[in-house]
Amino acid sequence: MALSGIQIFKMLPKKNCKECGCPTCMAFSMKVAQGALKIEQCPHVSAEALEALSEATAPPMKTIKVGTGEGEYTLGGETVLYRHEKTYVNKTRYAVSLCSCMDDATIDAKIAAIPAVDYERIGERMRVEMIYVNYGAEAGADKYLELVKKAVATGKTLVLGCDDVEVAKAALEIAKAGKPILNGANASNYEAMNALAKEADVVLGVSGANLDEIYDTVAALEKAGNKNLVIDATGASIKEAYANAVQIRRAALKDQDRTFGYPTIVNTSKLAVKDKYMQEALVSLFTMKYGSIVVVDELGYAEALPLFGLRQNVFTDPQKPMKVEPGLYPLNGADENSLCLTTVDFALTYFIVSGELERSGVPVNLIINDAGGLSVLTSWAAGKFSGTSISTFIKENIESKVSCRKLVIPGKVAVLKGDLEAKLPGWEIIVAPLEAVQLVKFLKDMKEA
Ligand code: SF4
């Protein structure tokens, strides 16, 4: 269990020197107990106390790494139950399910469909990150091992869903270089599975008939020295899976019970839901509560768009506006003589506008102003995107870099045209259409005029 502020205070040097940023050692202790500060932020704490406190004051949910290279993902490490309390840290990863119980044509079609989801949104690459390779015992070990080979060839990070020790051993021989998860430990086989996972140096997934059984198995694995675990929260029904996911996370973060302080897998493909839209709804649910890996039967482009958008919204820090760096962004081979167009530094605005500009093919110097990470109208209303701020930014940062003196401003702030003409002598101020999607025609018409 986590230490209280008083227990932490007893191990501090009690100098009240304020070097940690707190007025007293007691105030520092309280913040460490809440998880708001780290014990290392006190420069005077002794090595012995640091060692004793580091483990006890570590976040209640472990951070677990899986995969390698581009496919390495960090799971868990969460400190709050609700995003608005602080922020979520490591985003849910999506896995497509394959099973050796499927026929070859189905497996090949599902593997062929995986690369179809690959696009960028607000600077983040969206794609299927993992494959869950399920062992259908009735199809036999050989078919499963062939499936593992096919899955390895995709280059995706794998979760090997197999509770047969011998088959799992052979599967790990094929897949272990990619640091998969071996999701196969349960109350009856955990010792053998633990030995396999340790030997292959991979994360071990733990499942059970109910939460009590999972808890006891995790505790036994921890006692055997393995804390490189994930918990399979998938139950026999949607209701059970949801209850498991919530109770595991609440026990870890609210009750500070570290036995449940591990990332979770929720496998929606095992919840007997045939309707693919219902499955997508379940993936949304478990993205919010509380799947670290959510497994789904299929993830096509149409299903991916809302899911990845949701995930991006849930796993951004609500305290930090999504911004891009203010500056000059030459697009489509723009040089100093190319037209200038300005907008705000809100990331979503930047990526929408720059996408449309790139689609136009017209060389443009995109000037991003420091507008506090707000949208065009919000920053204008807040006085952060005004005639003064735009003209000052252009005089200080842009005029020395471009010769062209034509500046396109967003249609939504057409009202700034007169002010900018007065504050930027020598510049022609042009008002763009209201919507970014209209920029392509607007720029092409300008080029031809
Ligand atoms: Fe106390 Fe350490 Fe903070 Fe100084 S830096 S006030 S000793 S906790």
Q: What is the pLDDT of residue 208?
A: 97
Top mutation candidate among 42, 50, 53 for ligand 1, by most atoms within 8 Å of CB: 42
If asked whether residues 183 and 43 sit together in one domain, one would say no
Q: Give the number of the atom of ligand 1 that is nearest the alpha carbon of residue 24.
A: 6
Q: What is the pLDDT of residue 2?
A: 63
CATH number of the domain at 145, please: 3.20.20.20
* Residue 103 counted as domain residue: yes
If asked whether residues 266 and 340 sit together in one domain, one would say no
If asked whether residues 261 and 402 sit together in one domain, one would say no
Which residue lies with its CA nearest to atom 1 of ligand 1?
25
Q: Give the number of the atom of ligand 1 that is nearest the alpha carbon of residue 45.
A: 2
If asked whether residues 118 and 91 sit together in one domain, one would say yes
CATH number of the domain at 347, please: 3.40.50.11600
Question: Which two three-digit tokens encode residue 295?
Answer: 């497994």
Top mutation candidate among 8, 11, 19, 45 for ligand 1, by most atoms within 8 Å of CB: 19
Q: Return the SS3 of 300.
A: coil
* Residue 319 counted as domain residue: no
Q: What is the pLDDT of residue 38?
A: 84
* Residue 320 counted as domain residue: no
Instruction: Tell me the CA–centroid distance for residue 17 and ligand 1, in Å.
Output: 5
- Cβ neighbourhood burial of 419 (10 Å; 0-12, 13-18, 19+): middle
Q: Which residues line ligand 1 (CB under 6 A)?
A: 12-13, 15-20, 22, 25, 28, 42, 44
Among 193, 178, 190, CA closest to 215: 190
If asked whether residues 254 and 216 sit together in one domain, one would say yes
If asked whether residues 154 and 188 sit together in one domain, one would say yes
Question: Which two three-digit tokens encode residue 301?
Answer: 């482009």
* Residue 9 counted as domain residue: yes
Instruction: Tell me the CA–centroid distance for residue 20 and ligand 1, in Å.
Output: 6
Could you tell me the residue range of the domain that residue 22 belongs to?
Answer: 5-57
Structural domains of the chain, count: 3
If asked whether residues 71 and 50 sit together in one domain, one would say no
The span from the CA of 249 to the CA of 262, in Å, is: 8
Residue ranges for the chain with pLDDT beneath 50: none
Please give the backbone phi and psi of residue 369, each rounded to the nearest 5 degrees, phi first.
Answer: -85, 155
Q: Give the number of the atom of ligand 1 that is nearest the alpha carbon of residue 28.
A: 8
Which residue lies with its CA nearest to atom 7 of ligand 1?
15
Q: What is the pLDDT of residue 266?
A: 98
* Residue 303 counted as domain residue: yes
If asked whether residues 337 and 211 sit together in one domain, one would say no
If asked whether residues 117 and 256 sit together in one domain, one would say yes
Instruction: Tell me the CA–centroid distance for residue 45 and ligand 1, in Å.
Output: 8
If asked whether residues 122 and 40 sit together in one domain, one would say no
Contacts 24+ apart (CB under 8 A), 5-12: 5/29, 5/30, 5/32, 5/33, 8/32, 8/33, 8/39, 8/53, 8/57, 11/45, 11/49, 11/52, 11/53, 12/42, 12/44, 12/45, 12/49
Which residue lies with its CA nearest to atom 3 of ligand 1?
20
Instruction: Tell me the CA–centroid distance for residue 6 and ligand 1, in Å.
Output: 14
* Residue 322 counted as domain residue: no
CATH number of the domain at 50, please: 1.10.15.40
* Residue 321 counted as domain residue: no
If asked whether residues 73 and 105 sit together in one domain, one would say yes
